Amino acid sequence: MLETVDLDAALSRDEYQRVFPPLEERLRRLQYALLEAEVPTIVAFEGWDAAGKGTVIQRLTRKLDPRAFQAWPGSPPSELERRYHFLWRYQVRLPEDGHMTLFDHSWYGRVLVDRVEKWVRRRDWEGAYAQINELERWLTDDGQVVVKLWFHISQKEQRRRLRKMEKDPAERWKVEKEDWRRNRRYDRWAEAAEDMLALTDTQAAPWTIVAATDARWTRVKVFRTLVERMQAALDRRQQAPASVSRTQMAEVATRESRHRRAKEDLARARTVAHDAGLPLEDPAFFVSSGDEK
């Protein structure tokens, strides 16, 4: 799958200045629209080290309302988190209805770094594919948006960026020996990434592979993907407002039908009581049924 990606894809400065500002503004408006519709959005940023994930996240959050999103950086599990299933620490960070959560590295660490570095047993990372698919299916069935992005660059490009970062006093702290070791083992990581993409690319939560060589192309691709997925989710919620029963939209959409069913239930209760010769004078009964007479 990764071999078919055009890593030379690029965008001119003029084209970028034409298409990107409207995308940025549309994303800002969609954040508020999904907040009102109570649709949560989850974005998983995965990809090679130095592929530009952090830079895109920084640009993404410039236009978002900080009251309605949360960004979580990748980090090793704490002692407490290691006691639980590997998905638990991400589940407790899922967004509230209408909010957005950005994961800079997500639950896919189990089938990437844990697998390549042999931090878990083979049966653990092999079993994780089905568990991840189940989680994402549960999230999308619940009306949540799950956007998964893989930032792809070549081994040569990754090496060039690491060298450039080492020469920059403001960025050299980001480069560690581990980054160079992983670059030398690029093929092993690519094999794990290929398996991950093949086994977890589902209709409910598809992968978007982002050719990340050119920064302008990368930024537009990410923003366009988010706008398209968020707009589609908003359209589905507006077309079926009762699909998630806990939301305000569902309460409004079902108010008339619930009132009608309550009246029908009351009529049946009166008929049964009348046939049985039972009194219907208890005020509490009628108040709870929504009709006092």
* Residues 258, 149 share a domain: no
Position 281 scores a pLDDT of 60
* Residues 205, 277 share a domain: no
CA distance 5 to 21: 26
pLDDT above 90: residue 259: no
The more confidently predicted of residues 65 and 291 is: 65
Per-position b or e across 75-93, b if 16+ CB within 10 A of its CB: eeeeeeeeeeebbebbeee
How open is the CA angle 23-26-28, to the nearest 5 degrees? 110
Q: How confident is the model at residue 247 (pLDDT cuts 50, 70, 90)?
A: confident
* Residues 144, 63 share a domain: yes
Residues with Cβ within 8 Å of 159's Cβ and at least 6 positions away in sequence, in order, are 183
Q: Which of 214, 239, 264 is the last residue of a domain?
A: 239
**Least confidently predicted of 14-18, 72-76, 110-114:** 72-76
Domain that holds residue 260: 254-289
The more confidently predicted of residues 138 and 291 is: 138
* Residues 77, 139 share a domain: yes
pLDDT above 60: residue 198: yes
Pick from 77, 215, 227: nearest CA to 157: 215
Q: What is the mean pLDDT of residues 165-182?
A: 93
pLDDT above 90: residue 150: yes
- Per-chain mean pLDDT for the chain: 92
Amino acid at residue number 64: L
Q: How many CA atoms are closer than 13 Å to the CA of 36, on its beta-carbon side?
A: 7
* Residues 211, 284 share a domain: no
* Residues 217, 109 share a domain: yes
Number of structural domains found in the chain: 2
Q: What is the mean pLDDT of residues 163-179?
A: 93
* Residues 268, 220 share a domain: no
Q: How confident is the model at residue 268 (pLDDT cuts 50, 70, 90)?
A: confident
pTM for this entry: 0.87
Q: What is the mean pLDDT of residues 247-252?
A: 84
Q: Does residue 247 lie within any of the structural domains?
A: no
* Residues 235, 259 share a domain: no
Pick from 233, 192, 228: nearest CA to 208: 228
Position 280 scores a pLDDT of 65
- SS3 state of residue 209: strand
Please answer whether residues 56 and 62 qualify as being in contact, where contact means their C-beta atoms are separated by less than 8 angstroms: no
Position 36 scores a pLDDT of 95
Q: The domain spanning residue 168 has which CATH number?
A: 3.40.50.300
pLDDT above 50: residue 260: yes
| Cβ neighbourhood burial of 21 (10 Å; 0-12, 13-18, 19+) | exposed
* Residues 128, 94 share a domain: yes
Q: How confident is the model at residue 292 (pLDDT cuts 50, 70, 90)?
A: very low
Q: How confident is the model at residue 261 (pLDDT cuts 50, 70, 90)?
A: confident
pLDDT above 90: residue 293: no
Q: What is the mean pLDDT of residues 42-46?
A: 98
Position 284 scores a pLDDT of 52
Position 279 scores a pLDDT of 73
